[in-house]
A = this chain, B = another copy of it.
């Protein structure tokens, strides 16, 4: 793959699935690793045509087999429920030395699916904790992974060289890399990503389905806080259906904790315990400060939304 003595790096990367994440990867590789040849495939012919129109990959293929034929690194960028099928579709054609990775939001299920489909290959699952509420190849951009964390969940017996290659690849795209056990990843992301999405999807549904308040009123007065939730609740339905089905236990565990805490605040409101409310609201304020200090959100008020 590379000359002896140089740092191990892929010369050819195949991207299977060209939505927000896959297309951002193609752009990020073009921007940061211009010598790498990117071959791409998407199962949707319309998406492939749109990718061709914006010249997204060096090589765009009509079959997954053709896309991976010469690859050193294969990145599956499909919903986590489709990982097994996607891996089986390339199993006969992926080169023996190629490393297989992905960008899925749950990891224990993905690791199991990929290892079952490609038992002879290096499987190094990855989750870049980055995204927007938009979908499709036009929504991607090269800087999506800058200063974001990419969590790798290699199996216990993974080859160190394979882990290093995938780590270096993500660092080259501007990400920070962390290694983690897949089960722990799934617990961490259940609280930092999956539960927030579930809550947002819920409240947006609740608000649009009330007798006392019309949907028009909800939209009109959404700047009071509600609109923040609608961004997350505009995320890709297929992707998120799969996340909840494939990280079920961790999500249900976190949801149980959330419900307990919500019940406690509900009681404080009901009995008029202002001190309990004030103490809770003071504690949560500090968390945001830490997130901004760690560079994981914008310090500008209101996410930096324009007020003009």
Question: Interface 1/0s, chain A 221-242, versus B by CB < 8 A?
Answer: 1111111111111110110111
Residues 112-144 of A, flagged 1 when their CB comes within 8 A of B and 0 if not, give 000000000000000001111110000101011
Within 8 A of B (CB), among A224-268: 224-235, 237-238, 240-242, 244-245, 248, 251-255, 257-259, 261-262, 265-266
Q: Is the Cβ of A284 less than 8 Å from the Cβ of B233?
A: yes
**Set of chain B residues within 8 Å of A238, measured between Cβ atoms:** 278
Nearest CB of B to A258, in Å:
5
Most chain B CB within 10 A, of A141, A149, A280, A287, is at: A287
Q: Which residues of B contact A133 (CB under 8 A)?
A: 288, 301-302
SS of A interface (majority)? helix
A306 at the interface (CB under 8 A from B): yes
Q: Which of B143, B233, B298 contacts A288 (CB 8 A)?
A: B233
Tell me, in angstroms, the Cα distance from A131 to B307 when the chains sit together: 11
1/0 contact string of A279-292 vs chain B (CB within 8 Å): 01111110111110
- Please judge, given known A-B contacts A224-B129, A233-B285, A307-B144, whether A244 and B277 are in contact too, CB under 8 Å: yes
Residues of B within 8 A of A259 (CB): 259, 262
A307 nearest CB neighbor, chain B only: B143
Query: Which of A61-69, A90-98, A165-173, A195-203 is near enough to bind chain B?
Result: A195-203
- In the complex, what's the smallest C-beta–C-beta distance from A147 to chain B, in angstroms? 9
In A170-217, the 8 Å CB interface with B consists of 178, 187-189, 191-210, 212-213, 215, 217
Instruction: Report the minimum CB–CB distance from A80 to chain B (whole Å).
Output: 12
B201 touches A294 (CB 8 A): no
Contact between A296 and B232 (Cβ–Cβ < 8 Å)? no
Q: Are B303 and A231 in contact (CB under 8 A)?
A: yes
A12 to chain B: which residues have CB within 8 Å? none
The answer to whether A237 and B278 touch across the interface, beta carbons within 8 angstroms, is: yes
Pick from B242, B281, B308: contact of A201, CB below 8 A. Answer: B281
Judge whether A274 is part of the interface by a CB distance below 8 angstroms. yes
Chain B positions within 8 Å of A205 at CB level: 261, 280, 283-284
B277, A220: Cβ atoms closer than 8 Å: no
Q: Within the assembled complex, what's the spacing in Å between the Cα atoms of A54 and B281?
A: 29
B237 touches A146 (CB 8 A): no
Of A212, A225, A228, A304, the most chain B CB neighbours within 10 A belong to: A225
Give chain B residues whose Cβ lies under 8 Å from the Cβ of A144: 307
